[in-house]
Structure 1
Amino acid sequence: MAFANPRLTHHLRVAHVFIYAGSCLLLLLVVSNLLLCQGAEDYAPYCKNQPGNCRIPLQSLFERATLVASNNYRLAREMFNEFNKQFGEGKNFTSKVINSCHTEFMTTPNNKEAAANTEDEALLRLVISLLHSWDEPLHQAVTELLHRNGASPDILARAKEIEDKTKVLLEGVEMIQKRVHPGEKKNEPYPVWSEKSSLTADDEDVRQTAFYRMFHCLHRDSSKISTYINLLKCRFTPC
């Protein structure tokens, strides 16, 4: 019987070790992915259907809220610019929508400095009221864009994403409010949008002006919401 080559034996042992280590690593990755998936399910979207206290840290809630708010502001800006580029040429939309937002009469800080000097309870109530005030107009905008021939797919996609993310953001901000001010019951009354008839009008000019006004106002309010949430994040968590 031939004796085994010592060098070959050594290489076989090393190979065995690497194969074993690789198998363990693969198993670890599989288990980790399962745990991550389970965690994502547990916390989606904000501890939904979870009994007891939410386990998401406050900093994570704020990080998600600021990210969604910033993304909504970007989408609103892109949607407004796209609509203006597609339909605004030669039309004096701006003069028709000045000071005509349905949220115009909400008392909000005039600038970032004023917002920084506003109590966090008031800022949270304002954010929640602004988000509530856009629930109906966003729904109607998406519905109308879906059924209108010639509607830009990009505008529709952005409007739909903003509608969906606004609901997620509202849920998150309400959870933050409960966490930082558990006794808070009162929220600012939110203004009711009443331009459905203009948005669905047969008159093309009336309808386009209504969309322009909506996108202009959404862009403005999305900026406020993003600013307020970022200010709140810096008050309660590291910036």
Structure 2
Amino acid sequence: MQLSLTQASTWKCTLLLMSCIILWVYVTATPHDQMSNEELYDNLFYWSHRTLGVARKMYKILDSTLTERMCFKNKNNNTCQTTSNYTITNNEDLLKFIINVSNAWIYPLKILAPAVLTHLDAYDGMLGRAVEVNYGNKQVLKGAKILLSRIQPGIEENYYPNWIDLKELRSSNERTHLLAFCKLFYCLRKDTKKIVCYLRALRHGVIKNKC
């Protein structure tokens, strides 16, 4: 039986709600500010690693299935908005970098789910992944801010780049919005990988300027 437009929309909203509920299962009952530094780090690393996995899967699905390798062919033209020459000299700088990058993704990930719903539909769980990566980024940001406040009280970095390409996600032209998704997913994968890399460096006390 074919669903009406209203029924299909209701079904998609239900899927989105269920995705949110599933995420809550993984949330610890202990508030972040009541965790020890070790617990906070473990929670932070868990969400960063999980978010990276989701970002990788989204890019792979888009590139190999939905765009027929269009993402890979245009990869050299992808200059990410969060690209910067950020100097890392200590643990505080590592956390500031993570906070800056996570802050930068707040708005793009906020509009990602509606954009996916419009153009990519719920193909292969893409909608649920868009919700999950948004939630994961918020958890990383929250944990990193608390951890930094314990190491260096009163210091908080904020970085909000000008995402000039986001409007292309709403384009009715298929090639235009697919290329915009390619760039967004490419940069998301790249940035979440950097965060995991810097968190590993934080664990082992090895300062890295490049991940």
Q: Distance in 1 between matches of 2:148 and 2:70?
A: 43
Which runs of 5 or more residues in structure 2 are unaligned?
A: 1-27, 207-211
Structure 1 residue 101: Cα displacement: 1.3
What one-letter code is carried by the residue in structure 2 that aligns with 1:59? E
Residue from 53, 56, 60 that aligns with 2:39: 60
Tell me how far 1:235 sits from its aligned partner.
3.2
Are 1:231 and 2:209 counterparts? no
Measure the CA separation in 1 of the matches of 2:121 and 2:154: 49
Given that 1:83 and 1:155 are in contact with CA atoms closer than 8 Å, whether structure 2 keeps it comes out as: no
Quick one: distance in 1 between partners of 2:143 and 2:132? 16
The correspondence for 1:154, drawn from 115, 122, 125, is 125
Cα distance in 2, alignment partners of residues 229 and 63 from structure 1: 10
Matches of 1:150 and 1:60, distance apart in 2: 37
- For residues 126-137 of structure 1, what are the structure 2 equivalents within 5 Å? 126-137=97-108
Post-superposition shift, 1:168? 1.3
* Structure having the higher Rg: 1
- Residue 67 of structure 2 is matched in structure 1 by 88
- Structure 2 counterpart of 1:213: 183
Paired with 2:149 and 2:137, the residues of 1 have a C-alpha distance of: 18
- CA distance in 1 between partners of 2:177 and 2:118 (Å): 13
1:121 aligns with 2:92: yes
Question: What CA deviation, in whole Å up to 9, does each residue of 1:74-112 have, x standing for no partner?
Answer: 1111111011122231636533653421112x2246xxx
TM-score scaled to structure 2, two decimals?
Answer: 0.76
Rounded to whole Å, the distance in 2 between the matches of 1:81 and 1:199 is 18
Asked if 2 retains the 8 angstrom alpha-carbon contact of 1:124 and 1:177, the reply is yes
Which residue identity is paired with 1:201?
S
Determine the C-alpha separation between the residues in 2 that align with 1:166 and 1:127: 10
TM-score by length of 1: 0.68
The separation in 1 between residues aligned to 2:71 and 2:55, in whole angstroms, is: 20
Distance in 1 separating the partners of 2:158 and 2:90: 14
Q: Distance in 2 between matches of 1:92 and 1:156?
A: 19
**8 A contact 2:92–2:151 mirrored in 1:** no
Q: Does 1:103 align with 2:82?
A: yes
Deviation at 1:132, TM superposition (A): 0.7
Q: 1:184, CA displacement in angstroms?
A: 2.2
Q: Please list the CA deviations of residues 148-191 of structure 1 after superposition, one character each: whole Å capped at 9, or x if unmatched.
A: 36441412111110101111111110000011112424x25332
Counterpart for residue 135 of structure 2: 164
Q: Tell me what 2:57 maps to.
A: 78
Distance 2:121 2:110 in 1: 19
Q: Which amino acid in structure 2 is aligned with residue 158 of structure 1?
A: R
Shift of the alpha carbon at 1:220? 0.4
Deviation per residue, 1:3-34 (Å, 9 max, x gap): xxxxxxxxxxxxxxxxxxxxxxxxxxxxxxxx
Please say if residues 77 and 219 of structure 1, whose CA atoms lie closer than 8 Å, have aligned partners that are also in contact.
yes
Contact 2:101 2:159 in 1 (8 A): no
Q: Secondary structure at the match of 1:191?
A: coil
- Give the letter for the 1:195 counterpart: D
Residue segments in structure 1 that go unaligned for 5+ positions in a row: 1-39, 47-53, 110-114
Distance 1:215 1:92 in 2: 9
SS of alignment partner, residue 131 of structure 1: helix
The total of aligned residue pairs comes to: 179
CA distance, structure 1, for counterparts of residue 204 and residue 69 of structure 2:
44
